[in-house]
């Protein structure tokens, strides 16, 4: 729903954040501006600046955040788990692009400017870099992302040809089944910003397309029925932000087009 | 997103309940498809009309109405008007659905857009048909108006 007013205490008012300087001996220094907001005080959000010695820290932006948490400010809050681009926990906005902190190298960032780190956009913030993604998980659950079949289960697993499996995994490993549900795409989609209460968004639709094209699934028609809706599906206007931001190199816009194509196919 | 105590009633609903909402309307395909088909059809029609309008600048009013009097030209122009208005209506409906959050304003906006474009469509089609079947030359009508008692001092 297009809403242009922000809840109390959520507006960024250019409040001066805290500054932390690296030691003067450090030769290889880099500054990070990190979004800070806590539900426990009545403060508005601010950007804290941390200068760190890169020689003491790993190569990725996530390493810098861990370094800050361990050595400078233990109150800094962010999500992470696998630190190798598999769990999707560390999705955040780095230098204006949604991506995974654990796969984004510090030296890929603009060398002249401070690295700016904010939470995934257009979401309520739980704390600092942790956004509330519950609605998106529920939307994902609403497309019933599991195999549905009425034929009795065979003795062994349900079979699928290697070509059919390829459609899901992708020849190059970039098929829809490779999605890690990080929601970088959904939170970058303007249509989702305005109508996220009803539009399912690129991540969930990519998953829906993955099940529609699974040859072992027997509920294709039912799935298409449930998606044919001006808001759930047709809010996608092929702006392609989703595809250009996906840190795993997947193509949600193409998967959405696939669903529209399937719905068109059954009309003729 | 501060605490749960001051949440509105509807926000207490489970996220899955909210996500499922009223379910699918099982429509939307026709709208999306029509928008693309009208766009496609408008490409040759616009080129045809633009070429002809260009010639019309150099001709007299009578020659222009004679051109419009040809059955195929009249059909082409009416088709162009209907398709472009229909295409514009579909586009405006998408914009309203995208950016008008309030349910009541959205419904009113959508209805108004529909009425407006249907009205425009009929008016334009009537104008074309009038040059064909009504008064042969619209300048007669204008002349008549000048003779009309009220408009003369
Ligand atoms: S292509 Fe569709 S889903 Fe992707 S960003 Fe654009 S509107 Fe959103
Ligand atoms: S499609 Fe890409 S950006 Fe979107 S949730 Fe999946 S992995 Fe993340
Ligand atoms: S920590 Fe798992 S994807 Fe970054």
pLDDT tops 60 at residue B89? yes
For every residue of B16-77, which 3-state class applies, written as one string? Answer: HHHHHCCCCCCCCHHHHHHHHHHHHHHHHHHHHHHHHHHHHCCCCHHHHHHHHHCHHHHHHH
Which residue would you say has higher pLDDT here, A82 or A11?
A: A82
pLDDT score, position A215:
97
Q: What is the DSSP string of B124-143?
A: HHHHHHHHHHS-S-HHHHHH
Q: Which ligand is nearest to the CA of A101?
A: 3
Q: Kindly report the CATH number that applies to the domain delimited by B26-134.
A: 1.20.1300
The minimum CA-CA distance between B125 and chain A, rounded to whole Å, is 30
Distances (CA, A) of A267 to A213, A264, B90, B91: 18, 5, 20, 22
pLDDT tens digits along A137-155? 999 999 999 999 999 999 9
What's the DSSP call for residue B6? Answer: T
Q: Is the CB of A100 under 6 A from ligand 3?
A: yes
pLDDT tens digits along A105-138? 999 999 889 999 999 999 999 999 999 999 999 9
Above pLDDT 70, what percent of chain B? 80
Per-residue confidence band for B130, with pLDDT thresholds at 50, 70 and 90? confident
pLDDT tens digits along A242-263? 999 999 999 999 999 999 999 9
Per-residue confidence band for A208, with pLDDT thresholds at 50, 70 and 90? very high
Question: Is residue B18 a contact partner of residue A138, using CB atoms and an 8 Å limit?
Answer: yes
Q: Which of A64, A66, A98, A102 to mutate to test the pocket of ligand 3 (most atoms within 8 A of CB)?
A: A102
For chain A, the average pLDDT equals 94
pLDDT tens digits along B62-88? 888 889 989 999 999 999 999 999 999
pLDDT tops 50 at residue B152? no
The model carries a pTM of 0.89
pLDDT score, position A257:
98
pLDDT tops 80 at residue B4? no
Interface test with B, best of A234, A239, A257, A264 (most B CBs within 10 A): A234
pLDDT score, position B59:
86
User: Which backbone phi and psi does A78 adopt, to 5 degrees?
Assistant: -155, 165
Above pLDDT 90, what percent of chain B? 62
Per-residue confidence band for B1, with pLDDT thresholds at 50, 70 and 90? very low
Q: What's the ipTM? A: 0.86
pLDDT tops 70 at residue B140? no
Per-residue confidence band for B9, with pLDDT thresholds at 50, 70 and 90? low
Q: Which of A57-61, A208-212, B2-6 has the lowest mean pLDDT?
A: B2-6
Per-residue confidence band for A101, with pLDDT thresholds at 50, 70 and 90? very high
Per-residue confidence band for B143, with pLDDT thresholds at 50, 70 and 90? low
pLDDT tops 70 at residue A214? yes
Q: Which residue in B32, B97, B101 is closest to A3 by CB distance? A: B101
Q: Which of A42-56, A206-220, B121-135 has the lowest mean pLDDT?
A: B121-135
pLDDT tens digits along A13-36? 777 888 999 888 889 999 999 999
Q: What residues of A are in the B interface, CB distance below 8 Å?
A: 1-3, 7, 9, 39, 124-126, 132, 134-135, 137-139, 141-142, 191, 194-195, 197-198, 225-235, 237, 260, 263-264, 267
pLDDT score, position B151:
40
State both tokens at A115. Answer: 């690295």
pLDDT tens digits along A150-193? 999 999 999 999 999 999 999 999 999 999 999 999 999 999 99
Cα–Cα nearest to A96, from A118, A74, A113, A114: A118
Q: What's the rounded mean pLDDT across residues B97-104?
A: 93
pLDDT score, position A5:
64
Alpha helices by DSSP H, listed for chain A, are 61-67, 134-142, 162-169, 190-195, 201-212, 220-227, 241-245, 252-265
Question: Is residue A45 a contact partner of residue A10, using CB atoms and an 8 Å limit?
Answer: yes
């Amino acid at each position: 729903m297009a809403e242009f007013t922000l809840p109390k205490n959520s507006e960024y008012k250019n409040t001066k954040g805290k500054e932390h300087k690296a030691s003067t001996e450090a030769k290889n220094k880099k500054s990070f501006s990190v979004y800070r907001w806590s539900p426990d005080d009545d403060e508005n959000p601010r950007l804290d600046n941390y200068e760190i010695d890169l020689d003491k820290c790993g190569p990725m932006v996530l390493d810098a955040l861990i370094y800050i948490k361990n050595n400078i400010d233990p109150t800094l809050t962010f999500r992470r788990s696998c630190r190798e681009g598999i769990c999707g926990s560390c999705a955040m906005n780095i230098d204006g692009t949604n991506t995974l902190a654990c796969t984004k190298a510090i030296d890929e960032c603009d060398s002249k400017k401070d690295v700016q780190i904010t939470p995934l956009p257009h979401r309520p913030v739980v704390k600092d870099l942790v956004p509330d993604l519950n609605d998106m998980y529920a939307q994902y659950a609403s497309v019933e992302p599991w195999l549905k079949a009425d034929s009795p289960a065979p003795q062994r697993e349900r079979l699928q040809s290697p070509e059919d499996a390829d459609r899901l995994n992708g020849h190059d490993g970039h098929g829809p089944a490779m999605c890690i549900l990080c929601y970088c795409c959904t939170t970058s989609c303007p249509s989702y910003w305005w109508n996220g209460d009803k539009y399912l968004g690129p991540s969930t639709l990519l998953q829906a397309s993955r099940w529609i094209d699974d040859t072992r699934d027997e509920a294709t028609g039912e799935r298409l029925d449930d998606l044919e809706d001006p808001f759930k599906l047709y809010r996608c206007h092929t702006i392609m932000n989703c595809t250009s931001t996906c840190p795993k190199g997947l193509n949600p816009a193409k998967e959405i087009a696939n669903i529209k194509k399937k719905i068109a196919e059954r009309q003729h | 997103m501060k605490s749960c105590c001051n949440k509105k009633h509807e926000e207490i609903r489970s996220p899955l309940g909210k996500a499922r909402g009223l379910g699918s309307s099982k429509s939307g395909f026709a709208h999306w498809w029509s928008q693309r088909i009208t766009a496609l059809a408008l490409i040759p029609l616009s080129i045809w009309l633009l070429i002809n309008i260009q010639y019309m600048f150099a001709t007299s009013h009578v020659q222009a109405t004679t051109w419009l009097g040809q059955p195929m030209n009249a059909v082409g122009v009416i088709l162009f008007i209907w398709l472009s208005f229909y295409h514009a209506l579909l586009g405006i409906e998408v914009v309203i659905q995208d950016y008008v959050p309030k349910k009541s304003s959205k419904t009113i906006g959508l209805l108004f857009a529909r009425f407006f474009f249907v009205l425009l469509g009929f008016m334009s089609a009537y104008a074309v048909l009038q040059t064909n079947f009504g008064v042969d030359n619209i300048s007669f009508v204008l002349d008549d108006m000048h003779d009309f008692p009220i408009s003369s001092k």
